[in-house]
Structure 1
Amino acid sequence: MAAVVPVTAEIAKRAAALVWRDLPVDLVERTRQCLLDWFAVTIAGAQEDLTGILVAEALEDGAKGPATLVGRAETVLPSAAALINGAASHALDYDDVNFSMGGHPTVTVVPALLALGEQMKASGRLFIESFVAGYETSGRVGRLVAPGHYLKGFHVTGTVGSFSATAAAGRMMGLDDRQLAVAFGIAATQAAGLKSNFGTMCKPLHAGTASEHGLRAARLAAKGFTARGDSLECDQGFASSQSDHLNAEAALGEPPSGWHLRNNLFKYHAACYLTHAPIECAKEIRLKNNFPPERVQKILLRIDSGADKVCNIPHPTTGLEAKFSLRQTVAMALTGVDTANLDSYNEAVTQEPRIKELRDKMAIDFQPHWAHSLAEMAIQLDDGTTIEVRHDSGIPWADLEKQRQAIETKFDSLVTPLLGAAGARRLHDAIERIDELTDVGDLVRASAKN
């Protein structure tokens, strides 16, 4: 089947053909929520050292231009804006995820669309159409190469994300399906990102390069640049070179709940998503049983074996490493450290004696073939009592209004300290009115730091 199904052409056809009338009402609201979350984490991430380094590099390279940088005062060329805004949005590892993609979809799609949309003066409705086209592409390509692609060590956000950014930018530019299939070929030859760099500045860089590559691929294809139109499924193409799997049926089949966007998962802890279920287990045990950490004798965590190569740094020494440490984040949750607070992840917290003691009491039982989002925890206290809980962080919220309230709380906590109350409200209002905007440049400019 893999040899005969034209996967690239079919995914390109679906992305190019998506129009406003195809979108259920809830997808427009979900897009707004993705934007609220994305701008929040990007404005906060724009203050990180890695973002400053990328801005300095761009300006030193002569990339000053008209495109807005979120949360900053500098302006750069559109390609540089896609790279920098993309990296900034993933800098805190606080952005949304989707398990069909196997990574972070919004951080690859939105930066390319904002850079291109500001330049084109694209309408808000065109932005939404393009966002959904890119988002759905991320789920399709992710399912095509799962699970082998991720198991080989590739960071899906950087690799699969190159195709989602291409689809989004290509849809905004009005590429037809043949042009978009070629654009996928251009993206495929650039797609990269290694999991071995988790816990370093390179992980967020993957999101930025995916967005930049996608923007470049769509633009080059529009100008007649050539590439194969079957890059996903061809021999020595993306799937055969970077995965042991090419599942065309999964890629082209009906997504769960009809749309991949309906399975978007937002983060409410500022750490790797695979730490979220263990954090929730630890929080539930602490809040319901009210014991001091000193009473803990043993901690047993059961979690999918895939987490071993993603977030199992046993002795973190930096705030960034703490985000990728199951032992650290569980210990933080058990001692009442606010895992949603960006300032909680720092060098000092990794050296806190109570935290280190709890880390040493924890054993991890990695379970093969478990759901990535499932965790079970058993804590034994000094009187022999054992407390057991389980949590699955991979279930999308059914109540969209409740989800909106949680995202708006996150938005206010991250945006207001940097843009001020008036600036936060201005940006929030622009996101709310996105389907009415005649120029999405108004949206991204509302996020700039004066």
Structure 2
Amino acid sequence: MDLSQILADNAVSRRFEDLSAATVDATTEAMIDSLACAVAGLHAPGIPEARDAFQRWGTSGCAVWGGFGHAPAPFAALLNASAMHALDYDDTDDKVPLHANGIVLPVLLADVEENHPDCDGKEFLTALAVGIDGAMRVGRAGGPKASRGWNYSVISGGIGAVLAVARLRHWDAKTTCDALGHQLAQTSGSLQSIIDGSLAKRFQPAMVVKNVLVATAMAQAGIDGPRNIFDGKAGFINLYQDGKFDREFVSKDMAGCALVDDLSLKPYPACRFTHAPIDLALELHQRGLRMADVKHLRIRVSGQAVNMVGRKFDCRTANVVDAQFSIAYTAALGLERGVLKIADFSEEAIRDERIGAFAAEKITIEAGESLPFLGMVPVYFEAELVNGSRVDIETTTVCGSPEKRMTENQFRAKLTDCLAYGNSAITTDVLLATVRALKNGAPVKSVNAMLATAGKAAVVETEVALA
């Protein structure tokens, strides 16, 4: 039996009652976080241009979030997913890493709008948990192969999204496997857009969102897909995992979708590999240190962190993606200002010559030989101060992870910053209440109605928002 059969059987048989209260809460809070990130990204570089470019393929179908009209479901979902991922502020599974909600959530909300207008919140949260858990399960079973250039949000996220749609549509396992096969047939996931600092990076997960809706349409039409999706000669395990894959992990304790509980929500609008260094930079700030006090800052991180976010930062030539993927830039910001906001990653902000000079001349980033190559932690700071003294600090946890959750105040501050940056009149309280009502069975159309006008100067009150 191909592993896809096990995943499909599990996905289509899940019920809301199978989920623990903790998993329901984790699914809901991650959804709130993701939607706030989407509102914040509505006007990010590349997103308005994409909206204009895609109009040629139609202006009816599903809502393009923010009050930007409608588009055929695959393209509306693509645009919505692009906004969600644009600022690199959306959730991660730190152990892979991958962004699960950025693919699963836009697919499900588009499918609800197009095919299930009366879907209730419990059904939706069950499907969402199935999809997130599935993406994380496959990602962790294989382990990241970023050294070969694969983007795991793209590779594993598409599998999770197909499983989520299958659960929402109450498919049988055969149709689900066909859709998984179609998804495999069109999956790719190069990390080159990150390496080159290209805006294409923020569209990669979104392209998978479009492809998932195409794959599920073909499967529902009865078009068969590849059968040996995981175990075939050119299946997922051989193609993406070099034949190394923990099959037992995939099938262990599947019923509760509990991997969702292990999802991390980001406190800072930058690549997750910058977060532990930012935590330490903020600690130095809290101790009263500023850039002027530091003669040299040596930062030791994992080899993968150096690959992803350890490159030299030049404020004269850097673009927004370069800044989002720079330990040097983000650590300099944290040290000097004690806070990182979305506005710190605008084209104008990243030209700050003081921050840029410190990042380029005073910070050295090295791979620790004894550190796990793929680890986000531990991270070590060795700060040589102008006064001749030295400060050494380290961290083995990352803020926003299950071991170090954001406080309620930190979470609300993130939501408020996102909504304000997206020029939205949605309040933090309305966002929280609208999504949390799903746990009690409120209709999902309340969420879609809120998002349809999310970027407008005034919010159209939805009857269910505060129900």
What TM-score does the superposition give when structure 1 sets the normalisation length? 0.91
**Contact 1:295 1:381 survives alignment (8 Å):** yes
Of the candidates 91, 94, 97, which is equivalent to residue 89 of structure 2?
94
Q: Which runs of 5+ in 1 are unaligned?
A: none
Q: Specify the alignment match of 1:377 in structure 2.
A: 381
Runs of 4+ with deviation above 6 angstroms: none
Distance 1:271 1:445, change over 3 A: same
Q: 1:192 aligns with which of 188, 191, 198?
A: 188
Task: Map 1:48-87; keep pairs closer than 5 Å.
Answer: 48-62=44-58, 64-87=59-82
Q: Secondary structure at the match of 2:433?
A: helix
Q: Which residue of 2 aligns with 1:208?
A: 206
Q: The residue matched to 2:392 in structure 1 has which SS? A: strand
Q: Note closer, same or farther for the CA distance 1:89–1:418 as it changes in structure 2 (3 Å cut).
A: closer
Q: Which residue of 2 aligns with 1:30?
A: 26
Instruction: Give the paired residue count.
Output: 441
**1:123-176 deviation per Cα after TM superposition (whole angstroms, max 9, x unaligned):** 2111101100101111111023213x3221111111211111111112111111
Q: Give how far 1:284 is off.
A: 0.3
Where 1:298 maps in the other structure, the secondary structure is strand
Q: Quickly say closer, same or farther: Cα 1:424–1:404, change in 2 above 3 A.
A: closer
Is the CA contact 2:298–2:364 (under 8 Å) kept in the aligned structure 1? Answer: yes
Q: 1:271 corresponds to which residue?
A: 270
> Which of residues 401, 405, 411 in structure 2 aligns to 1:396?
401
SS in 1 for 2:61: strand
Match of 1:430 among 429, 434, 437: 434
CA shift, 1:353, in A, is 3.0
Q: Does 1:106 align with 2:110?
A: no
- Distance in 2 (CA, whole Å) between partners of 1:373 and 1:168 is 31
Partner of 2:97: helix, strand, or coil?
coil
Q: Does 1:181 align with 2:177?
A: yes
Q: Structure 2: which 5+ runs fail to align?
A: 457-467
- For residues 120 and 218 of structure 2, the distance between their equivalents in structure 1, rounded to whole angstroms, comes to 22
User: For residues 421 and 172 of structure 2, what CA distance do their matches in structure 1 show?
Assistant: 43
Distance (whole Å) between structure 2 residues aligned to residue 323 and residue 24 of structure 1: 35
1:20 matched residue in structure 2: 16
How far apart in 1 are the matches of 2:367 and 2:171? 45
Amino acid at match of 2:336: T
Q: Work out the CA distance in 2 between the residues paired with 1:78 and 1:224.
A: 20
Aligned partners of 1:43, 1:434: CA distance in 2, in Å? 19
Q: Secondary structure at the match of 1:16?
A: helix
Equivalences for residues 99-138 of structure 1 within 5 A? 99-119=94-114, 120-121=116-117, 122-138=119-135
> CA shift at 1:351, angstroms?
4.5
What do the CA deviations read for 1:20-48 (whole angstroms, capped 9, x no partner)?
A: 11011122211221121111110111112
Contact 2:142 2:241 in 1 (8 A): yes
2 CA distance for matches of 1:395 and 1:341?
17
Q: Secondary structure at the match of 1:30?
A: helix
Structure 1 residue 262, shift from structure 2 partner: 0.8
Task: Report SS of the residue matched to 1:70.
Answer: coil
- Look up the SS of the partner of 2:266 in the other structure: coil
With 312-321 and 17-26 compared, the bigger mean Cα shift is at 312-321
Given the alignment of the two structures, is residue 170 of structure 1 paired with residue 166 of structure 2, yes or no?
A: yes
Normalising by structure 2, we get a TM-score of: 0.88
Mapped contact 1:178–1:229 kept (Cα < 8 A):
no
Whether the 8 Å contact between 1:300 and 1:378 is mirrored in structure 2 is yes
- The code of the aligned residue for 2:159 comes to F
What amino acid maps onto 1:123 in structure 2? Answer: D
CA distance 1:343–1:331, shift in 2 (3 Å): closer
% of aligned pairs identical?
21
What are the equivalent positions in structure 2 for 1:181-260 lying under 5 Å apart? 181-198=177-194, 199-244=197-242, 245-254=244-253, 259-260=258-259
Distance apart, 1:399 and its partner CA: 8.5
Provide the rounded CA distance (Å) in 2 between the counterparts of 1:416 and 1:347.
18
Query: CA 1:285–1:405 in 2, change beyond 3 Å: closer, same or farther?
Result: closer
* Native 8 Å contact 1:275 1:329 kept in 2: yes
- Determine whether 1:282 maps to 2:285: no
Gap change, CA 1:178 and 1:33, over 3 Å in 2? same
| 2:282–2:338 Cα contact (<8 Å) kept | no
Deviation by residue 1:154-212 (Cα, 9 ceiling, x = unmatched) = 11111211111111112111111222122111111111221110132211111111222
Deviation at 1:58, TM superposition (A): 1.7
| Counterpart residue number, 2:464 | none
Give the residue type in structure 2 aligned to 1:113.
L
Change (3 A) 1:414 1:141: same
Change in 2 beyond 3 A, CA 1:292/1:128: closer
Shift in CA distance, 395/334, structure 1 to aligned 2, threshold 3 Å: closer
